[in-house]
Amino acid sequence: MKTLRLIAGCLVLGMMGCGGDADSVAPVDVRVVEGVTPGERVSGSRILRATAEDNSGTVARVEFSVAGSPVCVDDIARRSGATFSCTWDSSTTPPGDHQLTVKAQDAAGNSALSAPVSITVLAANRAPSLGPVTTTHQTLDEGSTASLAVTATDPDGDTLTYTWTQSPFAPLGTFAEGSNATPSWTAPFISRDTAFLLKVTVSDGRGGSTQGTVSVTVVNVPALNQAPSVDLDINVDPEGIVAGETVPLFISARDPDGDPLTYSWTTEPPGAGVFTSPEQASAEWRSGELKEPATYKLKVTVSDGTSSESRSVDVQVGVPSYAQDIEPLWSAKCSSCHNENSPEGLNLQVGKSHASLMASGGGACAGPRVSPGHPEESLLVRRISGEECGIRMPMGDSDYFDLNQGEFTRIRSWILAGALDN
């Protein structure tokens, strides 16, 4: 019985910690590693980071304090030596000189403090205050200058900076001494009266800023307008084409006043051919049908809304050659159906097509396949147009000439010019 009482006593003592292995060792090497530096002047929010070591292999939480008051905590357990972090809003701490510490704690409740970091917490930043933005001219002529002014103060005594801008952004006027409280603004040249909003942004360098505006109307003065600057020559290549072909065109222009430019492409004589994108700097022109060579003047007019400049270029348009411009069309689309085995007798193979086209069609399509000088009387044109005489050419692709109108113009022009075998 005496032996049992001794054993029981030892068990009780063990449970109380006598001779046991309960964790009583606090974390070590507790350090603030990021977020503040000794002697720093702190404002706004900071992400504070710290590390600690513990003999258990795990640190349960860390808590940052300023002047002895907790400011943020990271209570997610991490392995020993890992980085803990949390965000401190310094505006919640009274301004002044303070010491920041971090306390690390393990799962057994043992804790240790870091060495203190001395910092100065600044008062919460207050934005600058502005008086009215003033101008010497609420209305001024284009190219004229107005003086601007704004009065600004900072309740924290911070140094202020000034940035001036305009809206709309273009055309762009000019600020002189634009980083000061009293700049001047020279109005841009414009094509019509325009209201501009002049804005100043005053910043204290600590995240605080305030804006003020004043409206100025700029008046267009036609006598002061500068005409668009337009290249002397239209870029055109080639300058010689055959009827139905397309020529690309381009003109380079800018406006010295920054006005938006409009473009208008026309022909002399008027209405000749067809333009693609006639209101752009880059355009294309496809010639109309003709029966003899002709020269067309292609003209572009560039306007800023007040003044305009025009340029022109001559383009030579020739009559299509059968061998070079017409027969290749049959080879591409028609000769597979219209050959020596064609039930209609039309043979569009190379070397045989012209003679076959000069013959007359039979049956429901009786009459000349091509009537020199008269495309409307030619069965070929009627079949391509889909007006009569069976399936529209080319078979299986009846929309082809609708999508390639220049080739149809080429065929009609060749017939108008006499349908020569040249």
The Cα 281–Cα 399 span in angstroms is 31
Tens of pLDDT, residue by residue over 313-332, are 999 999 999 999 999 988 76
- Does residue 160 fall inside a structural domain? yes
Closest of 104, 111, 95, 109 to residue 32, by C-alpha = 104
Which pLDDT score, from 0 to 100, does residue 6 have? 40
Residue 181's pLDDT is what?
Answer: 98
Per cent of the chain over pLDDT 70 is 93
Q: Give a yes or no: residue 422 inside a domain.
A: no
Q: In this structure, are 354 and 328 located in the same domain?
A: yes
332 lies in the same domain as 299: no
114 with 135, same domain: the answer is no
337 and 399 part of one domain: yes
pLDDT in tens, 218-263: 999 988 888 999 999 999 987 789 999 999 999 999 998 888 899 9
Per-residue pLDDT, averaged over 125-138, amounts to 96
* Residue 2 confidence (pLDDT): 43
* Residue where a domain terminates, one of 263, 282, 317: 317
Same domain, 80 and 113: yes
240 shares a domain with 303: yes
Residue 4 domain-assigned? no
Q: What is the pLDDT of residue 19?
A: 45
The pLDDT value recorded for residue 4 is: 40
pLDDT at 361 (0 to 100): 72
What is 309-373 written as a DSSP string?
EEEEEEEEEEPPPIIIIIHHHHHHHTTTTSSTT-TT----STTTHHHHHHSEE-GGG-EES--TT
Reduce the DSSP state of residue 406 to 3 states and report it: helix
Q: 102 with 64: CB under 8 angstroms?
A: yes
pLDDT at 10 exceeding the cut of 50: no
Domain count, the chain: 4
When pLDDT is cut at 50, 70 and 90, the band that residue 11 belongs to is: very low
Tell me the pLDDT tens digit for each residue of 328-366.
988 766 777 788 887 777 888 888 999 989 988 765 667
Residue 268: give the domain boundaries: 229-317
Q: Is residue 404 part of a domain?
A: yes
Q: Please determine, for residue 182, whether its predicted confidence score (pLDDT) is greater than 90.
A: yes
CB atoms within 10 A of CB 317: 23
**Residue linked to tokens 């080879």:** 331
Q: What is the DSSP letter of 415?
A: H
Q: In the structure, what pLDDT confidence band is assigned to residue 109 with cuts at 50, 70 and 90?
A: very high
101 contacts 65 by C-beta, under 8 angstroms: yes
Residue 174 and residue 236 share a domain = no
Residues 6+ apart with CB under 8 A from 285: 246, 247, 249, 265, 267, 273, 274, 275, 276, 298, 315
Q: Determine the Cα–Cα distance for residues 36 and 15; give it in Å rounded to an integer.
A: 45
> Residue 207: which residues within 8 A CB-CB, separation 6 or more?
44, 125
Mean of all residue pLDDT scores within the chain: 90
pLDDT on residue 17: 40
Residues 213, 237 within the same domain: no
- From 165, 194, 224, the end of a domain falls on 224
Residue 22 counted as domain residue: no
Q: What is the pLDDT of residues 85-101, one digit of tens each?
A: 999 999 999 999 999 99
CATH number at residue 262: 2.60.40.10
> Looking at the domain assignment, is residue 375 inside a domain?
yes
